[in-house]
Amino acid sequence: MAEALLLVVLLPALGALINGTRAFTNPHGPKNKTVTNAVALGATALSAIVATIGAVIPFVRSGTPFEHAYYTWIPAGIGHAGNFIASFAVDFAFRIDPLSCTMLMIVTWVGFLIHVYATGYMSHEKGYTRFFTYLNLFMFMMLLLVLGANYIVMFVGWEGVGLCSYLLIGFYYDKNFAADAGKKAFITNRIGDFGFILGIFLMFNTFGSATYSKVFALAATGGAAQYGGIATAICLLLFVGACGKSAQLPLYVWLPDAMAGPTPVSALIHAATMVTAGVYMVVRSNVLFRMAPDAMLVVAIVGALTAIFAASIGLAQNDIKKVLAYSTVSQLGYMFLAAGVGAFTAAIFHVMTHAFFKACLFLGAGSVIHGCGGEQDMRKMGGLRKYMPRTHWTMLVATIAIAGIPPLAGFFSKDEILANAYPHHFPIWILGVVTAGLTAFYMFRLYFMTFHGSYRGAEVEGIEESEPAHGGHNLIPDRRHLLDGDEHSDKAHGHHTHAHDPHESPWSMTGVLAILAVLSIVGGWVGIPAVLGGSHPTAFQRWLSPVLLPIGGEAYEFHEASVALEWTLMLISVAVAAFGIFLAWRFYKRDPLWSTPKRFAETFAPVHRLLENKYFVDELYNATVVGGTLALSRAMWWFDRWIVDGIVNAVRHLTVVLFGHGSWIFDRYIVDGAVNGVGWSARGGSMMFRRVQSGFVQNYALIMGGGVVLVAVVYLFMKP
Amino acid sequence: MGILNVITYIPLIGALVILFFVNRSNARMIRVLATATAVLDFLVSLWLWPNFDRAATGTKMWQFRETYDWIPSLGVKYDFGIDGISLLLILLTTFMGIIAVVSSYTAIHHREKEYYTLLLMLQTGMIGTFCALDFFLFYVFWEIMLVPMYFIIGIWGGARKLYAAIKFFLYTLAGSVLMLLSILALYFFNDGGIGFLNIKGLGNPGTFSVLQFHEIGHLIPPSLQFWIFLGFFFGFAIKVPMFPFHTWLPDAHVEAPTAGSIILAAVLLKMGTYGFVRFALPILPSATKQLLVPIVVLSLIGIVYGALVSLVQKDMKKLVAYSSVSHLGFVMLGMFALNPMGLRGSVLQMINHGISTGALFLLVGIIYERRHTRLIADYGGLAKQMPMYAALFLVAALSSMGLPALNGFIGEFTILLGAANSTAFGTMAYAVIAAIGIVLGAAYLLWLYQRVFWGPLDNPENANVPDVNRRELGLMLALIALMLWIGIYPKPLFDVLEKPVDYIVQKVEPTYFDKQPLTYPASPAATTEHREVAEK
């Protein structure tokens, strides 16, 4: 198993190395795409197969978690943990348990599917090999993240996926919006990592280790009585990291901008895998979180607020990828809501179903964009179901799934989250239900605007530009890039001329969509609750239960409600979703002129502007955090030049004035004498400095001579 | 003649050969000889690696010792010997020596003979400084080192080279005179006492032996320790450089030729931190703790201040120079955490900073040779024109900002772990403030990267700039290989550092290790299904 895990991780790294070398050594020349595909897809496919056969199946058979340290990575030394000493060493180690198995399967297989899709989507790109290098590198880092047996290896993957995200967002690096978005993603994540790494240090101070098995064993044995307070601090710090990586309030701002990257990247990194790393980390740390109810509450509240906040922005976006981006932020909020109310399995369940339907939605959107010649504005789409039937059907399935309609995948995970939230914290449940309604609405709004009505691509030139105006060094990329001539759309289809009708995408893309659509249907069936003929705990909960260690001897209990209550909650969430769908149908399908939403937008113009401009959060951050840091930097730079260095120069001037007048004597008798007297300067060595500026040598000798005199004085002075 | 002397004087011999036996017009021959000397020195120094005893403690920890009487009347000895800390720094010096020589081929067009001679002499000075176990000898090398650097900046430098060279020289000299006072105070305390201060000595035979001072350091009364420490502090803090003694550094870096900047950043700055870790800490434990807070505060200011100032620099080289102030702040912070993590991280970060910042200076030099400007505003979109250069620069920047799996992370992580765990600090607040530096580090480097490499290629003068050539590629790949090695498998370096660092910790915090080891219970059984989650 140890070798298999190593292989799983190293195969994508090898793929990145090979393709990376090819791209690096021949940056401008053409590269054989078949080779690139064989390497990139081969590495990912093999990795997925080895993961399944070599790791997951043996684990399921044996049922025993597996942990293996390959070598000591950072032997930092003996440190203090409480009143004890412990060897603060970090192993390069992997761990297989139900949680990492689940993530492993999602990452490898969904990752592989998206690789396949990308061969079609990116086929016209210049940086094809570079793209797949980054994608394989991402797989490598993501696998480190989920397989690591301690927080440090996780952190390597954690920052590593951030790097790949940076590189892929900035894939069209010569476009300013992409460059801005990449940098913004990296730095925002670094702010989160600031908290994460401090949490790790606090963990070392308390438990003397950052290895899961050691930390959790010690914590679970000691219980909340011993570690409750410190666990709260650790968990809150870790959660700061999760907020960065998983785009939660207030650090979510980078994710919508990350859509500047190619669409397969949005699907893989910014929907299905990387952004769920924060959820994975919180669930991984469940032993600590369960001892810290205050931290849990914070997680739940941040999650719930993010969910509804992002969903409300999603209502008013017209860029298809932006809608999905805010939807992702919102769904991630849902996952944290779940973890915060103690439903850790529900959180991972939603990670999984979300990976299926959101990947399907993003890739479907990519197919739409591909088919419409690079267009991302939904107002310029419409009626696409006629032109792209395969894309249409798969996206419809995924839309139903995310809306939470049974028996599709999203229903089961969402229902489990809400059922857990209700008894725990009523206001949070309310937020969750409202978000569910909003989600159903904006997703079907997207669906109807894109696929129904008639194609509006030809009539658009006159449409009023309602995108907010951006000035100056704005960090928000938007669809302006299309007008500037987006590289992708240029490459794919000449210009985004509307002379051609939209067309269906190749099978390499729609085939992947079909697989993901099927998964969006059946993916939730592993978590069917007892009232619907499943079991309590559900199959998925039983699968993950070994990760939920008993604390202080008290086992983790899965929440169980009465049958009546469970039916009621379920019906409410379905009814709310259905109502959202109905409204979307009423606004965007039955009335092709969309007069109701337009009227709303006019009646509540300030609210609409607020939503459309994403609550002006980017503007706020630019004015405060970014502007503040730059202003402080400029002030420091001024201080450095005029005060710190000013003093140094003043001292020099003073010295020159005080001693300058005597220096000619020094020059004539001592310096020249010394220079002339030293043998080598007159003979062989003199060649060396003969033509060097004489004043220069004098200066040097003056200084040197001064030093010698000073030393002599000091010596005589101190002699007893 | 022992191995350390061989390593120390190979560059000097090479320099003398160039000086006396090569015609100045034969620039090619000069370059070949200089390169051969640097490579030979590196290869010889590699011999130390397998032959170094990592487990040795006590006096055996100082290896490859060579002791000769030098000035018997004063007790001055010619005493060479290294521990793991010096070993790593010597290897860094010989390695970066090659980088510096080879990077100069096309950068230096006049007076090649003097240039390479001085560069090699400088190397002798640096290695000697790391080898010396006699304070007098140390001081001699320390001062010798200044001279070639002064000329390298002053002759082959940029527009304000004289100003920068003199500033560098005077500033360092002022510090080293104060250091000399402290050395003399140690000498007299060990010997007959210091007359005018009415301090009684120990009556030992007069010596400048560093190891002897290590033994008697704790006997020095705290008040005297304080003053001696202060003298050392100025000598070393200027060299590091610590805030607020850092302003010579940006000037020196900006004016120095590329190789000068590389050596300055990679090795010369480490002289200051090396001085602290070799002399100030183990000899003066009480003063170390007494002055701990001010020094740590200055280090923290350096970390944040250096990073902030880097953020708004318009000149690439100046940006990298200020980033050094930030990085060296980390080194100082880790050192004064006074625990194994902090100290190991500190020494490791000295090496890492040498590699990463050396690489960044090399890269800035590469583009400067082509475009004769270092202003960030003159660039933009270079990734399109110079994709290889852009990729190499990215790796160097990532290494400098401490991305995991590259070298910078290992150092910064270990330092911050030490700072967070430090009993000497007694608070995590220092680690928290320092961690801000990591966020800012990403900010200034990525912003630099964006402005130089990303965006449209809109300056026509950049349209035909050639990408890196084989020589430059080779240099960068060598540096990147080191970055990856240290990032992925740093254990060999930690192994070398273990004993010397524990030795210093025991000198400063004698009771540090006197606690019970923590034991871990077995993992409790899982909930519904009774699976054993026991650790394998």
pLDDT beyond 60 at A461 = no
pLDDT confidence of residue B181: 87
Q: What average pLDDT does this structure show over A528-554?
A: 86
Q: What is the maximum alpha-carbon separation in chain A? A: 107
Distance set, CA A383 to CA A392, A446, A501, A503, B208 (Å)? 10, 12, 11, 12, 89
Of the two residues A708 and A525, the one the predictor is more confident about is A525
pLDDT confidence of residue B390: 94
User: Which position has the token pair 């000769």?
Assistant: B68
Q: Identify the band that residue A700 occupies on the pLDDT scale cut at 50, 70 and 90.
A: low
Distance set, CA A267 to CA A188, A224, A238, B196, B418 (Å)? 20, 39, 25, 78, 40
Spell out the domain ranges in chain B.
Answer: 324-352+367-536
User: For residues B182 and B231, is the Cβ–Cβ distance under 8 A?
Assistant: yes
Q: Do B420 and A170 touch (CB under 8 A)?
A: no
User: For residues B168 and B153, is the Cβ–Cβ distance under 8 A?
Assistant: yes
Q: Which chain A residues are Cβ-neighbours of B536 within 8 angstroms?
A: 65-68
pLDDT beyond 50 at A498 = no
**Residue A296 CB contacts under 8 Å (≥ 6 apart), including other chains:** A235, A289, A290, A339, A340, A341, A342
Q: Which chain A residues are Cβ-neighbours of B435 within 8 angstroms?
A: 194, 197-198
**Domain interval for residue A696:** 665-720
User: For residues A408 and A400, is the Cβ–Cβ distance under 8 A?
Assistant: yes
pLDDT confidence of residue A697: 54
* Per-residue confidence in pLDDT tens, chain B, 536 aa: 789 999 999 999 999 999 889 888 888 999 999 999 999 999 999 999 999 999 998 889 999 999 999 888 888 899 999 999 999 999 999 999 999 999 999 888 888 888 999 999 999 999 999 999 999 999 999 988 888 999 999 889 888 888 888 888 888 888 888 898 899 889 888 887 776 677 787 888 888 999 999 999 889 999 899 999 999 999 999 999 998 999 999 999 999 999 999 999 999 999 999 999 999 999 999 999 999 999 999 999 999 999 999 999 999 999 999 999 999 999 999 999 999 999 999 999 999 999 999 999 999 999 999 999 999 999 988 998 999 999 999 999 999 999 999 999 999 999 999 999 999 998 999 999 999 999 999 999 999 999 999 999 888 888 889 999 999 999 999 999 999 999 999 999 999 999 999 999 999 999 999 989 988 888 776 544 444 433 33
Distance set, CA B303 to CA A187, B296, B299, B328, B343 (Å)? 18, 10, 6, 8, 17
pLDDT tens per residue across span A213-235? 999 999 988 888 888 889 999 99
pLDDT confidence of residue A682: 38
Find the angle CA(B522)-CA(B526)-CA(B529) to the nearest 5 degrees: 140
Instruction: Evaluate whether residue A643 is within a structural domain.
Output: yes
Same domain, A320 and A381: yes
Helix, coil or strand: residue B66:
strand
Round to whole Å and give the CA distance between B62 and B80: 9
Q: Which chain A residues are Cβ-neighbours of B167 within 8 angstroms?
A: 648, 652
pLDDT tens per residue across span A123-168? 888 888 999 999 999 999 999 999 999 999 999 999 999 999 999 9
Same domain, A587 and A672: no
**Among residues B515, B530, B500, which one has the least CA distance to residue B85?**
B500
Q: Which chain B residues are Cβ-neighbours of A685 within 8 angstroms?
A: 19
pLDDT confidence of residue A482: 38
pLDDT confidence of residue A470: 36
Q: Do A689 and B20 touch (CB under 8 A)?
A: no
Distance set, CA A174 to CA A182, A321, A339, A481, A482 (Å)? 12, 21, 40, 11, 14
Same domain, A682 and A706: yes
Q: Which chain A residues are Cβ-neighbours of B416 within 8 angstroms?
A: 197, 201
Kindly report whether the peptide bond that precedes residue A264 is cis, defined as omega within 30 degrees of 0.
no
Q: Which helix (H) or strand (E) holds A435?
A: helix A426-451
**Helices assigned H by DSSP within A494-562:** 507-522, 539-544
Residue B79: what are its φ and ψ, rounded to 5°?
-125, 110
Per-residue tokens: B66: 């060579």
- State the DSSP string of A72-104: EEEEEEEEEETTEEEEEEEEEEEEESHHHHHHH
Chain Cα centroid distance, residue B441: 19
Rg of chain B's alpha carbons, rounded to an integer? 24
pLDDT confidence of residue A475: 32
Long-range own/partner contacts, residues A711-715 (CB < 8 A, 24 or more apart) = A711/B177, A711/B180, A714/B177, A714/B180, A714/B181, A714/B184, A715/B184
Q: Do B533 and A190 touch (CB under 8 A)?
A: no
Distance set, CA A588 to CA A438, A439, A591 (Å)? 15, 15, 6
Give the mutation candidate from A474, A636, A649 for the B interface (greatest B CB count, under 10 A): A636
Instruction: Evaluate whether residue A492 is within a structural domain.
Output: no
pLDDT beyond 50 at A116 = yes
Q: Identify the band that residue A188 occupies on the pLDDT scale cut at 50, 70 and 90.
A: very high
Query: What is the percent of chain A with per-residue pLDDT over 90, rounded to a whole number?
Result: 50
Instruction: Evaluate whether residue A563 is within a structural domain.
Output: no
Residue A315: what are its φ and ψ, rounded to 5°?
-60, -30
Pairing verdict, β A66-81 and A84-96:
antiparallel
Q: Do B344 and A648 touch (CB under 8 A)?
A: no
Chain Cα centroid distance, residue A631: 28
A697 has a chain B CB within 8 A of its CB: no
pLDDT confidence of residue A490: 32
User: Which position has the token pair 């939730």?
Assistant: A524
Instruction: Evaluate whether residue A84 is within a structural domain.
Output: yes
pLDDT beyond 60 at A468 = no
- CB atoms inside a 10 Å sphere around CB A630: 16
Same domain, A400 and A257: yes
Instruction: Evaluate whether residue A265 is within a structural domain.
Output: yes
Q: Do B150 and A700 touch (CB under 8 A)?
A: yes
Same domain, A644 and A538: no
pLDDT tens per residue across span A425-448? 899 999 999 999 999 999 999 999
pLDDT confidence of residue B353: 96
Give the mutation candidate from A5, A66, A142, A159 for the B interface (greatest B CB count, under 10 A): A159
- Nearest neighbour of A176 by CB, restricted to B20, B383, B455: B455
A649 to chain B: nearest residue by CA? B167
Helix, coil or strand: residue A408:
coil
B526 to chain A: nearest residue by CA? A546
A645 has a chain B CB within 8 A of its CB: yes
Same domain, A601 and A621: no
Find the angle CA(A84)-CA(A85)-CA(A90) to the nearest 5 degrees: 130
**Among residues B171, B315, B175, which one has the least CA distance to residue B253?**
B315
Q: Do A547 and B526 touch (CB under 8 A)?
A: yes
Q: A446 to chain B, minimum CA–CA distance in Å?
A: 32
A62 to chain B: nearest residue by CA? B531
Distance set, CA A201 to CA A227, A435, B118, B130, B293 (Å)? 15, 36, 46, 33, 21
Q: Do A187 and B517 touch (CB under 8 A)?
A: no
The ipTM (two decimal places) reads 0.92
Q: Which helix (H) or strand (E) holds B78?
A: strand B76-82
Long-range own/partner contacts, residues B63-66 (CB < 8 A, 24 or more apart) = B64/B2, B64/B3, B64/B4, B65/B2, B65/B133, B66/B2, B66/B4, B66/B5
Instruction: Evaluate whether residue A218 is within a structural domain.
Output: yes
Round to whole Å and give the CA distance between A228 and A178: 44
User: For residues A517 and A398, is the Cβ–Cβ distance under 8 A?
Assistant: yes
pLDDT tens per residue across span A641-673? 888 888 888 887 787 776 655 555 555 555 555
Distance set, CA B107 to CA A124, B15, B369 (Å)? 41, 19, 7
Instruction: Evaluate whether residue A688 is within a structural domain.
Output: yes
| Number of domains present in the structure of chain A | 3
A81 has a chain B CB within 8 A of its CB: yes
Per-residue tokens: A605: 């113009």
User: For residues A186 and B446, is the Cβ–Cβ distance under 8 A?
Assistant: yes
Instruction: Tell me the pLDDT of chain A averaged across its residues.
Output: 84
A712 has a chain B CB within 8 A of its CB: no
- Nearest neighbour of A710 by CB, restricted to B177, B421, B490: B177
A651 has a chain B CB within 8 A of its CB: no
pLDDT confidence of residue B230: 93
Same domain, A626 and A695: no
Pairing verdict, β A84-96 and B193-194:
unpaired
Q: B312 to chain A, minimum CA–CA distance in Å?
A: 6
Q: A658 to chain B, minimum CA–CA distance in Å?
A: 16
pLDDT beyond 50 at A685 = no
Question: A85: which strand partners?
Answer: A80, B517
Count Cβ–Cβ pairs < 8 Å, chain A vs chain B.
303
How many secondary structure helices (H) and strands (E) does chain A include? 35, 2
User: For residues B451 and A182, is the Cβ–Cβ distance under 8 A?
Assistant: no
pLDDT confidence of residue A527: 87
Query: What is the percent of chain A with per-residue pLDDT over 70, rounded to a whole number?
Result: 85
B334 to chain A: nearest residue by CA? A76
pTM score, whole prediction:
0.90
Q: Do B533 and A719 touch (CB under 8 A)?
A: no
User: For residues A328 and A276, is the Cβ–Cβ distance under 8 A?
Assistant: no
Same domain, A163 and A148: yes
Instruction: Evaluate whether residue A418 is within a structural domain.
Output: yes
Same domain, A651 and A720: no
Q: Which chain A residues are Cβ-neighbours of B431 within 8 angstroms?
A: 198, 201
Per-residue tokens: A336: 């944290």
pLDDT confidence of residue A378: 87
pLDDT confidence of residue B225: 92
Of the two residues A500 and A19, the one the predictor is more confident about is A19
Q: Which chain B residues are Cβ-neighbours of A76 within 8 angstroms?
A: 340-341, 344-345, 414, 417-418, 494
pLDDT beyond 70 at A68 = yes
Q: For every residue of A172-217, which 3-state class applies, written as one string?
A: CCCCHHHHHHHHHHHHHHHHHHHHHHHHHHHHHHHHCCCEHHHHHH
Distance set, CA A82 to CA A85, A552, B323, B518 (Å)? 8, 19, 35, 9
